[in-house]
């Protein structure tokens, strides 16, 4: 008879297969089965549960909880809720203390009235510091600060010259060997930061806020994760 269902004659197939079908754009709740494992048929396939999952868009209405990490390829940012720009108390780097059990370690972002980058390290024995290759086209080499710290004993160190914006030449005026650390800060070429401006919120910043990211004043981590899910994953990033 046409349209009659004919059951298969083979054995049960318990293969775990990839999902397929038409994508749904509905934000629906995930169905949860309530079958009792003790009453589950002995001849049935064991049900699969999601240890991992992939989805193009996920909406979190209340909060996202867990003990693991959050990793995304795109930038983590938000443009909703109460937020301020560069509030050091709300931009912490917080982690378990590396050598004190039961303690934590918190750092905050360095603040300053310029957009700058830095590099640091040990001065090579020949006195030639090679600046990062990415500084070319990024840093104003006419506006850099160089600090030298002698190690072990006093040394008459000075910066002889900066070559081609790629090397810093350090010498010991006493003619002895060089053993020192260096710390170099350079102002970026695109530094157009306006430090003080009239306004009631960051939205009043002259020229707009393109290129800047912001943080929440309250519940920073929780709200940041929620907005990341909403604003990035629903775009497929």
pLDDT on residue 213: 60
User: What's the rounded Cα separation, in Å, for the pair 24 and 57?
Assistant: 10
Tens of pLDDT along 17-45? Answer: 777 788 877 777 776 666 677 887 888 88
Mean pLDDT value across residues 43-54:
78
Task: Dump pLDDT digits (tens) for 55-111.
Answer: 777 777 777 777 776 666 655 555 454 433 334 444 566 777 878 888 887 776 777
Strand, coil or helix: what is 165?
A: coil
Residue-wise pLDDT for 95-154, tens only, equals: 778 788 888 877 767 778 888 889 999 999 999 999 998 898 889 999 999 999 999 999
Alpha-carbon Rg for the chain, nearest whole angstrom, is 29
C-alpha distances in Å from residue 120, one per residue of 37, 117, 131, 148, 190: 60, 11, 9, 10, 22
pLDDT at position 19? 77
Cα(50)–Cα(8) distance, integer angstroms: 28
pLDDT at site 130: 97
Cβ atoms of 172 and 45 within 8 Å: the answer is: no
The residue that leads in pLDDT, 202 or 1, is: 202
Higher pLDDT residue, 5 or 36?
36
Residue 190 CA to residue 138 CA, distance in Å, equals 8
What letter does residue 29 receive in the DSSP assignment?
A: P
Which pLDDT does position 89 carry in this prediction? 47
- Confidence at residue 66, expressed as pLDDT on a 0 to 100 scale: 73
Task: Please write the tens of the pLDDT for every residue from 173-218.
Answer: 999 999 999 999 999 888 888 888 888 877 788 877 776 665 544 4
User: Could you tell me where the DSSP H helices lie in the chain?
Assistant: 220-232
Task: Please determine, for residue 11, whether its predicted confidence score (pLDDT) is greater than 60.
Answer: yes
**Alpha carbons 231 and 78: distance in angstroms, whole number:** 8
For residue 84, the model assigns a pLDDT of 38
pLDDT at residue number 143: 94
State whether residue 148 is helix, strand or coil: strand
Q: Write down the pLDDT at residue 72.
A: 63
């Amino acid at each position: 008879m046409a349209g009659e269902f004919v059951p298969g004659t083979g054995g049960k197939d318990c293969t775990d297969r990839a999902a397929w079908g038409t994508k749904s754009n509905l934000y629906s709740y995930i169905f949860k089965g309530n079958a009792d494992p003790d009453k589950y048929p002995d001849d049935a396939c064991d049900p699969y549960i999601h240890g991992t999952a992939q989805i193009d868009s996920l909406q979190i209405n209340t909060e996202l909880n867990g003990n693991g990490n959050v990793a995304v390829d795109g930038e983590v940012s938000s443009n909703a809720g109460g937020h301020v720009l560069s509030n050091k108390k709300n931009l912490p780097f917080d982690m378990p203390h590396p050598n004190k059990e039961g303690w934590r370690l918190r750092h905050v972002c360095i603040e300053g009235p310029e957009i700058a980058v830095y590099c640091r390290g040990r001065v090579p024995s020949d006195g030639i510091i090679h600046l990062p290759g990415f500084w070319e086209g990024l840093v104003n080499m006419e506006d850099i600060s160089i600090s030298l710290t002698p190690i072990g004993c006093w040394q008459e160190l000075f910066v002889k010259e900066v070559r081609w914006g790629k090397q810093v030449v350090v010498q010991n005026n006493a003619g002895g060997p060089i053993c020192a650390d260096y710390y170099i800060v350079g102002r970026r070429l695109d530094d157009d930061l306006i430090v003080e401006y009239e306004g009631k919120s960051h939205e009043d910043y002259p020229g707009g806020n393109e290129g800047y990211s912001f943080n929440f004043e309250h519940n920073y981590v929780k709200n940041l994760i929620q907005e990341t899910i909403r604003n990035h994953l629903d775009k497929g990033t």
